Structure 1
Amino acid sequence: MSKPVVAIVGRPNVGKSTLFNTLAGEKISIVKDTPGVTRDRIYANVSWLDWEFTMIDTGGIEPDSKDIILSQMREQAQIAIDTADVIVFITDVKQGVVDADSKVADMLRRSGKPVLLVVNKVDHFEKYMPDVYEFYNLGIGDPIPVSAASRLGLGDMLDEVIAHFPESMKEEEEDDRPRIAIVGKPNVGKSSIINKLLGESRVIVSDIAGTTRDAIDTEVTHDGKEYIFIDTAGLRRKNKIKEELERYSIIRTVTAVERADVVVMVIDATEGVTEQDAKIAGIAHERGKGMIIVVNKWDAIEKNDRTMREFEAQVRQILSYLSYAEILYISAKTGQRLNRLYDMIDMVIQNQTLRIATGVLNEIMTEAVAMQQPPSDKGKRLKLYYITQVSVKPPTFVVFVNDKELMHFSYTRYLENKIREAFGFKGTSLKFFIRERKEKEQ
């Protein structure tokens, strides 16, 4: 089920990132030890009451001159309108209503999306209320006073945010058709891949109504099975600012990845893995999605008997944290090897939803411990008591140990490799949680 998306829009220095960081609970949203992933915090997971949602900071405005600020704010507002279920528009009580605020408010109002007007830096409600009322002039509803820095009014604000989520998102009937997001940089051939897949399935393509994002969902039937492809292609806007464009396509990719079970990442064989590919891959990996790397335009490469091995080594090295991902070499132009994609998707989904009996897991763990002694520190040795699988998509395991500090990352990795040797789990990441148990609790 897809999580609602909430986007934050606002001028520079109104406290967007303070609010973002406070709500994100200082959890940096991109994994620290993932190489090649920027520290740029574009999105974070937020939970409030019984909702979980993805919050996007459309940010990135450099205050240069009034005109640039306005044009970039419009750009941000457009990103928010295109990708979010609810838009939070942040203003600053101390600066009052500014011309740029009014212009962006007009744009948001016309979008028809739910917009919450949040007035920040109200660190004393009585004192600032007259100034807050001034924001009624923007004509986008009741201003909500908050102070992100002092954490005032945030609960009321979040209540308002979730009040605008469509109920249908909560009670979506279980749609168990696999969702596949085709992602990658512009011009790597995403559209041609989708068109080829559709062409060969001879289906009536129905664009599913009611998807708020403008990634187009397409239903495909192949060999009697139904799939939904989330296409992020054709989402390019004419834009002079390259950085903004890159951020824009990444934000749209995040929303597509969020809703997918399997992410098919398309890389251009003639270019190799780029920094933006690594960013997108990091997001999919962190979200625990199934992963298939598709190398397109393979027909355009001069080949000898080592070409594929060398290319794969390069991909594996740059995306080292995706060692489990499957790699498929294709040509969307000629359709070469494209039909193998469906088999790969089926296999990845099977692995993503694989459940392993606790007894079997514990046998593997006991054997792993016997083959390689757990680490010890200052005379205390790590003991592994018990392992069990707690969920799927991605398969998630809890390991009970005597001392969490002793369970080094490398030993968890070793255990993961042993489980993969036994069950494959190709194409899906595995998550491990380490819990402590005192000896006497045994």
Structure 2
Amino acid sequence: SQIRDKAKEAAEKADILLFILDGKRDLLPPEEELYFSLKKLNKLIFVIVNKVDSLSDEDKLGDHYRLGEGRIFAISAEHKRNLEFLKSSLLEVIPSSVQEEKEPEPLKIAIVGRINVGKSSIVNRLCGEERLIVSEIPGTTRDSTDTLIFRNKKAFCLVDTAGIRKLGRTRDKREKAGIIKAKKSIVRTDVICLIMDAQEFPTRQDSAIAHLSHESGKPLMIVLNKWDLIRKETGTSEDFKEQ
């Protein structure tokens, strides 16, 4: 699948892998298969079982202990259980020279816009590779995804967000959570890049997103995607400026 392929691509570029499992259910065959395929990369793997809220939950873990070769951590991100132990274990394997390096914070750019205007496709183009999954199906991106790129020896963090639409228009809980995170992304980034579909005139939702950006006090760039699909000499550019 695309998700599995992306996971392997990311693993090949990493030095340490954090393999995260759901402690509320049994180990699934595809998870076990993915783990052993990652082992072939000869990378250091930390197996992290999340949602383990207590010692009794930890005692119920069975198949999970077949993985990890001693580096298995039963944690609860929600309740912050064993997070400090995980952090200290990670610091033990990270060279001190790397820990001491203090790189300047990358400029964070939020990529926001309505459903299916091509946000992920633009991020992939800027990266020069297929980092994010794109699809003709609206709403493929349901969460905010940070992607680090470098230009002229400077780092930029592109935050691809879930497509924003009115909360009342979706019943999908995961999509609602993604929309909330998209709004939070606007707060935590330095520049807002509003992607719009050049085939459509600005909508009320575009204006609402621009208003969110304006309220944040962050610089706003407006990018018209799919411009190549517009017939030339139609005055579209001037019409957009007026809108």
TM-score (norm 1): 0.32
Q: Residue 235 in 1 paired to residue 132 in 2?
A: yes
- In structure 1, what is the equivalent of residue 74 of structure 2? 146
- In structure 1, what is the equivalent of residue 37 of structure 2? 107
What is the number of equivalent residue pairs in this alignment?
A: 203
Letter in 1 for 2:208: Q
Is the partner of 2:20 in helix, strand or coil? strand
Contact 1:230 1:260 in 2 (8 A): no
Structure 1: distance between partners of 2:207 and 2:39: 47
Q: Which residue, 106, 111, 116 being the options, matches 2:46?
A: 116
1:321: how far off? 2.1
Letter in 2 for 1:104: L
Structure 2: distance between partners of 1:190 and 1:90: 26
1:236: how far off? 2.6
Structure 2: distance between partners of 1:133 and 1:189: 41
Cα 1:318–1:295 shift into 2, 3 Å: closer
1:123: how far off? 1.0
Contact 2:19 2:45 in 1 (8 A): yes
Contact 1:90 1:118 in 2 (8 A): yes
Letter in 1 for 2:36: D
Letter in 2 for 1:89: I
Percent of aligned pairs with the same amino acid: 15
Q: Which residue, 284, 288, 313 being the options, matches 2:185?
A: 284
Contact 1:181 1:231 in 2 (8 A): no
Cα 1:187–1:175 shift into 2, 3 Å: same
Letter in 2 for 1:116: F
- In structure 1, what is the equivalent of residue 156 of structure 2? 260
Structure 1: distance between partners of 2:79 and 2:159: 39
Letter in 1 for 2:133: R
Is the partner of 1:254 in helix, strand or coil? strand
Structure 2: distance between partners of 1:77 and 1:314: 34
Structure 1: distance between partners of 2:138 and 2:158: 28
Letter in 1 for 2:90: V
Per-residue CA shift, 1:149-194, capped at 9, x if unaligned? 8865432222223445576476265598x67676666563876x79
Structure 1: distance between partners of 2:223 and 2:83: 49
Gaps of 5+ in 1: 1-73, 195-214, 217-228, 268-272, 302-306, 338-442
Cα 1:75–1:115 shift into 2, 3 Å: farther
Is the partner of 1:246 in helix, strand or coil? coil
- In structure 1, what is the equivalent of residue 118 of structure 2? 188
Per-residue CA shift, 1:296-322, capped at 9, x if unaligned? 52xx45xxxxx7xxx376523345321
Is the partner of 2:133 in helix, strand or coil? coil
Which protein, 1 or 2, shows the higher relative CO under an 8 Å CA cutoff with sep ≥ 6?
A: 2
TM-score (norm 2): 0.50
Cα 1:80–1:289 shift into 2, 3 Å: farther
Is the partner of 2:55 in helix, strand or coil? coil
Gaps of 5+ in 2: 150-154, 167-174, 238-243
1:95: how far off? 7.5
Cα 1:235–1:294 shift into 2, 3 Å: closer
Higher CA-based Rg = 1
